Structure 1
């Protein structure tokens, strides 16, 4: 038995060989005191625990791409860390089909329990048998997220409905359910090292990315991330909008003026043809265009750069934030949401807005 470092927790631990867990989903089902491992997916875990605890349970709904998932995890991780509680990552049963996304957090050194919607209640009761109420009554749902919350029409829904910063979360130390995007570091600014540690890769980069990482680290460099894709569609163009080449050229010139005309630029984009055609980063820029199915590798390369030029993209944001260091600089757009101009919390004040 082992004790949780921040609470009066007793754990009954069943260690499972790595060879058994490769390619398996750990489905925590209890029969008396026995654990059953079912082959249901690709998430990998090393230890299955039954936790005898009354510590807070922080349930965060996971939705969207990797960068959205990172915000959703980070807000819950901080709350659990400061309260001695447990992170539960809540996924829709048809997560990948519904969102055309993958559970990208599995590539990082995250902590917590991954649970699917249909099994949430029974799994929580089995995993936390001593907890008086494993599913929290308190729920906070962001305004723009409400349509995606499976329990949004039920009377149990409580809390704020807003896309703006929710300061009451900073002091919260009890169980809670969260459903939103939480796109501001204000939710975890007091635990930056914890979050950066959790977002390190579990597995080493492949040879090509390792070589590029070494090249980036060999001298001070900058990344430019260009988000286009669905941002160019009429719906998202009204909400976000994509930036013209002039924005990126201006940002690159600012960095060259301050840090040297020979500053190397590494360009990342979901529209490689557009960035090459418009010479984003200049004629000598290096275009990283081989990690379509491995965005966590792009993030690692971006974070290795000392300087950053962002688009209004959460993926840009994490590349810049993870790579922040003394002497660096982040250039970000002045307006993030065209449709919500009052939403200013996403870009920290210390970053240069143009």
Structure 2
């Protein structure tokens, strides 16, 4: 038995689910561990089932404890606070190499984010089938925006600030220059592009990006449990300018336009990680 820990917001959950499907396709008996969500608040909680109607196989807490320490236990929290690291059992693994599959023939607990296009490529068809948005309770505002998006040469622009502002690892990557250059590139390449800006800081976008184009529309009405609809709308755009965020990464990846152009940052964070696909343009 193998268990994949799920944590974080929707974008991270989708990468962890992709890794779960990747392991399943290799013939392993795999379960998802979503027990963290009963103890701590990650954005809007565990969203995969609600957003995509996905039914997965889940590990209960006893199964988790046979392979790993429960990260939200008081003991683990005290250990983390004192030693500034996670307490792990020998069966807990934080990295995976497909070239070493033969060593993965025992019960293991996978604790990581698994943000690697290699895993995605291995289960692309399965993910495209699984990640079908639930749109039964979409608001009129969202439906109106959908109509606008599919009836023009639409370009989504994702600007994430909020929790990135005080995070030096992520917050210094996608600056004003990145967005201005990316939008100007789209203007030069395509006729009359309409920019649809998705952001948790619309005021900053208006102050810093409004001069780039006379056709900018701002989306900030999908709140709380409906936040995933921003990703849904991104998938409907002709082209995408993404942030160094898994949320807009998936919005671009799920975009089914065969002629789409995706612009992404040169690097994902200050460590130099790269999550770009070959067809994407780094700006």
TM-score normalised to structure 1 length: 0.66
What is the CA-CA distance between 1:316 and the residue it aligns to?
1.6
List runs of 5+ in structure 2 lacking aligned partners: 69-79
Are the counterparts in 1 of residues 196 and 219 from structure 2 also a CA contact under 8 Å? yes
Separation in 2 of the partners of 1:169 and 1:200?
A: 32
Separation in 1 of the partners of 2:238 and 2:207?
A: 25
SS in 2 for 1:156: coil
Structure with the higher strand share, 1 or 2 = 1
Match of residue 189, structure 2, among 242, 258, 270? 258
Superposition CA RMSD, Å:
2.9
Which residue is 2:233 aligned to?
301
Which residue is 1:218 aligned to?
151
1 or 2 for the larger relative contact order (CA 8 Å, sep ≥6)?
Answer: 2
What is the CA-CA distance between 1:121 and the residue it aligns to?
2.0
What is the CA-CA distance between 1:196 and the residue it aligns to?
2.0
> Does residue 348 in structure 1 map to residue 277 in structure 2?
yes
Separation in 1 of the partners of 2:2 and 2:178?
A: 40
SS in 2 for 1:286: strand
- In terms of mean alpha carbon deviation, does 78-87 or 183-192 score higher? 78-87
Match of residue 206, structure 2, among 265, 276, 279? 276
> Does residue 102 in structure 1 map to residue 45 in structure 2?
yes
> Does residue 209 in structure 1 map to residue 150 in structure 2?
no
Structure with the higher helix share, 1 or 2 = 2
Aligned length: 264
Are the counterparts in 2 of residues 306 and 328 from structure 1 also a CA contact under 8 Å? yes
Separation in 1 of the partners of 2:106 and 2:128?
A: 24
Q: 1:84 to 1:336 in 2, by over 3 A?
A: closer
Are the counterparts in 1 of residues 92 and 109 from structure 2 also a CA contact under 8 Å? no
Are the counterparts in 2 of residues 59 and 90 from structure 1 also a CA contact under 8 Å? no
Which residue is 2:87 aligned to?
153
List runs of 5+ in structure 1 lacking aligned partners: 1-56, 125-133, 138-146
Q: 1:270 to 1:349 in 2, by over 3 A?
A: same
